[in-house]
Structure 1
């Protein structure tokens, strides 16, 4: 009697092999997608952190320069303030902020190129 069930068991094993293989490949695919999502999330967070740092530095520099100019204008005599208005433009804080921001962006770009070259030499 047990020999009667042997073809049925062999057929059932063949049927069960395909879903197990699909589950195995599905699990591997899910692990790869999870790894890539985590990797891209870390890269995006790094880039957003760099942008936030540049914006924070620019705003801080702008406020500092504006405060210094305003502080000098308060304690300086009116003739000095009038004379400086002929030399110093009204948009001086914006100009200085743009120059410093450009230098920071250049430094970040050089740092990223260095990081990419270093990473490429490891591979």
Structure 2
């Protein structure tokens, strides 16, 4: 009895080849697109994290230096504060914090590069 179904089954399999090929190509494209999206999203997330950390480090350094200099102004004689005001500009704290932050960023970058090259080799 099942022998008469063989031509019907082969006919159905011939009809289903094109949709199966379309489904396969669709899944292949979705997989590739998902992989690219994951890679781009990861890269953007890492870059935004680094940018946030750099800005936070610069702001924290500037605030720390400002607090240190303001704290010292209470214990030093007023003549010393006036003398520093003659040759130290108003933007000295942001400049010093930017230099310090750049050195820390360079150190972290070198450390990350070293760690990545050690792990990959």
- TM bucket normalised to smaller: 0.7 to 0.9
TM-score (norm 1): 0.74
Moved over 4 A (4+): 4-12, 111-121
Query: Which residue number corresponds to residue 82 of structure 2?
Result: 82
Task: Answer yes or no: is the 8 Å Cα contact 1:54–1:101 preserved in 2.
Answer: yes
2:73 matched residue in structure 1: 73
When normalised by structure 2's length, the TM-score is 0.75
Give the CA deviation at 1:64.
0.5
- Determine whether 1:94 maps to 2:80: no
Gapped runs of 5+ residues in structure 1? none
Distance 1:43 1:105 in 2: 18
How large is the RMSD of aligned CA atoms in angstroms? 2.8
CA distance in 2, matches of 1:119, 1:75: 51
CA distance in 1, matches of 2:86, 2:115: 46
Residue 46 (structure 2) pairs with residue 46 (structure 1): yes
Contiguous gaps of at least 5 residues in structure 2: none
CA contact (8 A) 1:54 1:104 kept: no
Between the two proteins, the alignment pairs up a number of residues equal to: 120
1:76-100 residue CA offsets vs partner (Å, 9 max, x unmatched): 3221211222343322111111212
